[in-house]
Amino acid sequence: MTRLLPVDPIAPDAEVVDEAARVLRAGGLVGLPTETVYGLAACALDPAAVARIFAAKGRPSNHPLIAHVLGEDAAQRLAATWPDTAHRLAAAFWPGPLTIVVDRARGTPPAVSGGGDSIAIRAPSHAVARAVLRALGQPIAAPSANRFQGLSPTTADHVLREIGTGVDVILDAGPCAAGIESTVVDARTTRPRLLRPGALDLPHLRTVVPDIERADEAYRGAEERPSPGMQARHYAPRARVHIAPDRPEAQRIADELVHQGTRAGLLVLGPMSSRSSDLLSIRCLAHDPVTYAHDLFSTLRELDEARIDVIVVEAVPQDDAWLAVADRLRRAACPA
Ligand code: TXA
Ligand code: MG
């Protein structure tokens, strides 16, 4: 039986934190709130517990996980080398929604890295995640707590629906602040590479690494990707997603679908006054990348739960601040 334990997101209750640490120490899995999305946590130094993460997610075992730590000291213990780029990024953005890829230390279990030579590390800022890390005294491996390729969970209830009995305890600290995953940067190369745009946006990243290379762009559609998480289809709802270039076109396609008897949803950017049809499920997301990102996954999930078959999405601006949102929409729209 999965236990759902409420916990204060700002001043986490000690008994709940201790219980989560106890479960992790015993090789169990914990649904853990972070500032980005909920993670499916296991003790990173326990290969058997890490193997349970892959099983619970239905994730191929060569897809690396993120190791969560309290800060740079703990990160360096997991890494073979700690390049200057990693130090500058950590100093500027940790704790926070930035994941740094470096060479894995020999002593760090390969399972966390999906068997590879590199390791992705981040120091989360969420008080609950930090309290559990402190109580455990060891790094925590945690991918987003969703089934493979599905929508990342932004509430404890989403974790329960995604993973079900595969998780022992879920800490319920309410909805996540960012609602979208961390930004992933490869710090192994002279010129750092953006592997996944995320909650820390590109304009902020560039203040520390102005020469960052857009690997997310360069590898779009390529066979060989630097990170398994960069595969085309990912972060996808059950419904088919269609991106329309503008509002009138989105509305036209949605109306046509409804006319054909399809259960359609329309996701627009900013407010919308006129309802074209009562049969259409319309959701308006804010014309602001941070708020849009916060609501995106939960809205797509809601439309899935309403048994919508096609979601027509009004395209978001092609602007660096919207990069993470545009990336998730593009992947959601990729055919299965
Ligand atoms: O916000 C987040 O990052 C959340 C919370 C729970 O921390 N975690 C998360 O984990 O999104 P996951 O496993 O769903 O996504 C990890 C991403 C994937 O795109 C993966 O390919 C990439 O990080 N990644 C992990 N290890 C890597 C490595 N060694 N080299 C390159 N990319 C790596
Ligand atoms: Mg994920």
CATH code at 3-218: 3.90.870.10
Task: Find the ligand nearest to 231 CA.
Answer: 1
94 contacts: CB under 8 Å, gap ≥ 6: 71, 72, 122, 123
pLDDT digits (tens, 9 = 90+) for 238-277: 999 999 999 999 999 999 999 999 999 999 999 987 665 6
- Please state, in angstroms and rounded to a whole number, the distance separating the CA atoms of residues 4 and 92: 34
119 Cα to the center of ligand 1, angstroms: 10
Distance of CA 304 to the CA centre of its chain: 18
The pLDDT value recorded for residue 222 is 46
DSSP character string of 58-111 = T--TTSPPEEE-SSHHHHHHHBS---HHHHHHHHHH-SSSEEEEEEBPTTS-GG
Domain-by-domain residue ranges, the chain?
A: 3-218, 240-333
Q: Which atom of ligand 1 is nearest to the CA of 119?
A: 29
pLDDT digits (tens, 9 = 90+) for 125-180: 999 999 999 999 999 999 999 999 999 999 999 999 999 999 999 999 999 999 99
Q: Ligand 1, atom 21: nearest CA belongs to which residue? A: 229
- Please state, in angstroms and rounded to a whole number, the distance separating the CA atoms of residues 20 and 163: 17
Q: Can you give the pTM of this predicted structure?
A: 0.96
> Ligand 1: which residues within 6 Å by Cβ?
34, 36-37, 39, 64-66, 97, 99, 101, 113, 116, 118-120, 142-144, 181-182, 184, 195-196, 227-229
The pLDDT value recorded for residue 145 is 98
Q: Ligand 1, atom 6: nearest CA belongs to which residue? A: 39
Largest CA distance in the chain: 60
121 Cα to the center of ligand 2, angstroms: 14
pLDDT digits (tens, 9 = 90+) for 277-308: 667 899 999 999 999 999 999 999 999 999 99
Helix intervals (H) in 106-167: 127-136, 156-163
pLDDT digits (tens, 9 = 90+) for 14-47: 999 999 999 999 999 999 999 999 999 999 999 9
- Please state, in angstroms and rounded to a whole number, the distance separating the CA atoms of residues 331 and 233: 5
242 contacts: CB under 8 Å, gap ≥ 6: 253, 310, 311, 312, 313, 333
Q: Which atom of ligand 1 is nearest to the CA of 184?
A: 23
User: Would you say residue 226 has pLDDT above 60?
Assistant: no
- Please state, in angstroms and rounded to a whole number, the distance separating the CA atoms of residues 293 and 71: 26
143 Cα to the center of ligand 2, angstroms: 6
59 Cα to the center of ligand 2, angstroms: 10
CATH second-level architecture of 240-333?
A: 3-Layer(aba) Sandwich (3.40)
Q: What is the mean pLDDT of residues 317-327?
A: 96
pLDDT digits (tens, 9 = 90+) for 56-109: 999 999 999 999 999 999 999 999 999 999 999 999 999 999 999 999 999 999
